[in-house]
Structure 1
Amino acid sequence: MAEWLVERGIGEDRALLVENDRVVAAEVRWPGELRAGDTVGATLVQRPAGSPRGLAMTDDGAAILVDRLPRAASEGAAIRVEITRAAMAERGRLKQAQGRWTDREPAAREGDAFETGRPVRRFPPGLWEELWGAAWEGEVPFPNGALLFAITPGMTVIDIDGTLPPRELALAAVPSIGRALRHFALGGSIGIDFPTLAAKADRQAVDSALADVLDGWPHERTAMNGFGFVQLVARSTGPSLLHRLAHHRAAAAARLLLRRGEGTEGAGAIRLTAHSAVLAALRPEWLAELSRRTGREVRLEADHSLALDGGHAQIVPR
C-alpha cells in the first residue's frame, strides 16, 4: 500500500509517496512560501477602476495577484485571500502568486501530504537521491532511451531520445513519462515531442498507451499530430521540483548539502565543502539548525573546482 513519507529538512520539507520501495509521487515545500490552498491576510495596494482584479501585499512583503474582488474593496483595505497558485520563477522574471478574495476563515488542508504523511528522519536509501539527480540533470533514462526535460517560459518540453525504431521508442518512453510527471509534480502546459510516426495506427497506439499511464492524473490532452507532438495541460499550483532546480540551482544545491551534512555520522565537526555560490546560499539560521540537530560544530570550505551539486560533508577533528 502506498504511503506518504515526510522529511522535515533544513530549509526544505520533502514528501515521497512510496509503494513497494519505489517512489510513486513527490512534493517539495520551501518554508515561508505561499502555497495553493493557503488563506492569508493582505492589504489591497492596487486596483484599476472597475476591475475585479488587483494587487495585494502580505505583512511579509509577498505580492499576490487577486481576483474576484468585491466592489467595496478599495486600495488600502485589509482583505483575506485564498492562494490558488504559488509564486513561480521563470527565465528572467518572477510570476507572482495568484489568489482570490474570500470571506472564509482558514480551513484545514485536505489531502496535504505534509500534514497527513508519516514523518521519518530519513527516506529509504537512494530514493530522494535518484529523484533529485534526475530533476537536476533534467534527464530520466529508460531502457534504450531517455526523456530530456526543458523548462521554457511557455511550457515544459519533454524530448525523447534513444536508439530504438520510432514506434518502439515512443511506446517505450510512455511509462517513464507517466512516472516523471508525478515524480516532479509537473503542471501547466507540457509538450511531449515523440518521434515522428507516419502511420496513423502507430500514433493511435501511443495515444492509447499514454491514456493508460495518465489515468487518474487530472489533465487535458491533444492527440498526437503528424509530427509526433502531444500537448498536456494540467492545473499548476506552484513550482515543480524540476522548476525549482532549474531556476534556483545554488539554493537547491545548498539544501542538498545541508541534507548531506545532517546525514554524517561520527565524532568531530562537520565540514561542508562546496562551490562558493552554494556556500553563499546557506543562511545563518540553517547552519545553526544543522549544528543544533547534529550537536556538532559546522565549518565551511569553498572549492571552486566543484560543480554546484558536487558539495560534500565530512566529519573532521574538532
Structure 2
Amino acid sequence: MAEWLYEAGIGEARAALVEDGDILQARIELDDTFPRLGAVLAARLIEITTKGREGRVRFEGGEAMLSPLPPGITQGAALTIEITREAVREAGRDKLPRATPAEGPTRAAPTLLERISAGPLPVRMCLPHQSDAFEAAGWSEVLEEAIGGDIAFPGGALRMIPTPAMTLFDVDGSGPLEPLAVAAAHAVAAAIVRHDIGGSIGVDFPTIAGKGPRQAVAEAIDAGLPQPFERTAVNGFGFLQIIRKRTRESLPELLRADPAGARARALLRAIERTPPPVPALHHVSPAVHAALAARAHWRDALARRTGADIRFEVR
C-alpha cells in the first residue's frame, strides 16, 4: 500500500510518497519559504501594472503580483489576498509570488505535513534514530535526478533541463523508435509527478512516422499524468508540449536555485542520523561552509538534536 514518509529536517521538511519500495512523489518545503501557497494576507496595492487587470501588492515581509484587480480599486488601497503561486527563483531575476483577491480573515498557508495529512493515504513520521526509510526508497537517487537531470528508463534515458521558459525532456535510446518513444512517455509522466513539475513542459521524442504511433505516445502521457493538464499532439518532428498548473518551484528548480544550501541540508541530515558519538569536525567545500556560516540557526538546531558541538572547516 502507498504511504507518505515525512521528516521534519533542519532547514527543510521533506516527504516522499512510496509504493512498492519506489518514490512516486518527492517533496521538499524550505523553512524560509515565504509566502507559501494558500496563505491569506493583508496587503496594499502599491502599483497598477496593467490597468484593470494586474497590479503589485505589498504585505508584511514581501510583495506579490495581483490578478485580477478588484473592480474600482485604486493605488494605495488596502485589501486581502491569497497566494496562488509561490516565488520562483531564476538566474538573474526572481519571479514574485502571484496572488488573487480574497475575503475573510488572514491565515497561514498549510504546511507540507498538513497537505499530505489531508489526503487519504497514511503518513509515517520518520525520526533520525530509526532506520532510513527515505534512503531505502531511493531518496538520494531522486535528489540526484533533480540536480543532474539524468533519468534512466528501460531501453533509454531522459535528460531533464529546467529553463525559465519551460522544463525540457530530451529522449535518448536505442532500438525500435515507437517502443522507445512510448516507454519514454511513461517515464516522462512519472518524472513530472515525482518532481512536481508545473508550467510549460516540452518533450523531444524520437521522430516517428505515422499518426497511430504518435497517438500511442500521447496516450502514454495521458495514462501516466493525472489531470488537470493540457497537451499538444506529437508533431512530425517528435515534439509534444504539456501545460500544467504551476503553484511553486519544482524539485529541480528548488535544488538548483541554491545548490550549496541543498548540499548543506543533506549533510545536516546525514550528521543527524549518525549514531553517537557524532564526529565533532566535518570538512566541507567552501560553498557549503558559506551556506552553513550564513545560517547559524541550522547549526544551533543540529547541536540541539545531536547533543554535540559540531564544527565545520573548509577542506
Identify the match of residue 196 of structure 1 among 197, 207, 211: 207
Q: Is the 8 A contact 1:261 1:270 kept in 2?
A: no
| Distance in structure 2 (CA, Å) of the matches to 1:264 and 1:115 | 32
Listed as ranges, the gaps of 5+ residues in structure 1 are 304-318
Residue 304 of structure 2 is aligned to residue 292 of structure 1: yes
- 1:150-199: per-residue Cα shift (whole Å, max 9, x none)? 11111000001112232222122222212211110000000010001023
| Distance in structure 2 (CA, Å) of the matches to 1:268 and 1:130 | 25
**Sequence identity (%):** 38
| Distance in structure 2 (CA, Å) of the matches to 1:9 and 1:3 | 19
Q: Is the 8 A contact 2:145 2:151 kept in 1?
A: yes
Residue 291 of structure 2 is aligned to residue 281 of structure 1: yes
Cα displacement (A) at 1:132: 0.7
Cα displacement (A) at 1:109: 4.7
Q: Residue in 1 aligned with 2:101?
A: 101
Report the AA paired with residue 113 of structure 1.
Answer: I
Q: Is the 8 A contact 1:269 1:299 kept in 2?
A: no
Query: Mean alpha-carbon deviation: is it higher for 19-28 or for 110-119?
Result: 110-119
Q: Residue in 1 aligned with 2:115?
A: 112
Q: Residue in 1 aligned with 2:176?
A: 165
1:255 is paired with a residue of what secondary structure? Answer: helix
| Distance in structure 2 (CA, Å) of the matches to 1:227 and 1:133 | 30
Report the AA paired with residue 19 of structure 1.
Answer: E
Q: Residue in 1 aligned with 2:8?
A: 8
Q: Summarize the alignment of residues 145-294 of structure 1 with structure 2, pairs less than 5 Å apart.
A: 145-214=156-225, 216-282=226-292, 283-294=295-306
- 1:88-146: per-residue Cα shift (whole Å, max 9, x none)? 01232111100012122246859712666442225513432121111111111112311
Report the AA paired with residue 83 of structure 1.
Answer: I
| Distance in structure 2 (CA, Å) of the matches to 1:211 and 1:233 | 12
| TM-score normalised by length of structure 1 | 0.87
Where has structure 1 moved over 6 Å in runs of 4 or more?
A: none
Report the AA paired with residue 260 of structure 1.
Answer: A
2:161 is paired with a residue of what secondary structure? Answer: strand
Report the AA paired with residue 204 of structure 1.
Answer: Q
CA RMSD in angstroms comes to 2.2
| Distance in structure 2 (CA, Å) of the matches to 1:66 and 1:27 | 27
Query: Mean alpha-carbon deviation: is it higher for 223-232 or for 123-132?
Result: 123-132
Cα displacement (A) at 1:73: 4.2
Q: Residue in 1 aligned with 2:148?
A: 137
| Distance in structure 1 (CA, Å) of the matches to 2:227 and 2:268 | 33
- 1:245-301: per-residue Cα shift (whole Å, max 9, x none)? 222212222211211121112214443322111211121110110111111111102
Change (3 A) 1:43 1:115: farther
Cα displacement (A) at 1:71: 4.5
- 1:193-232: per-residue Cα shift (whole Å, max 9, x none)? 0001023222122122222122x34211111000111100
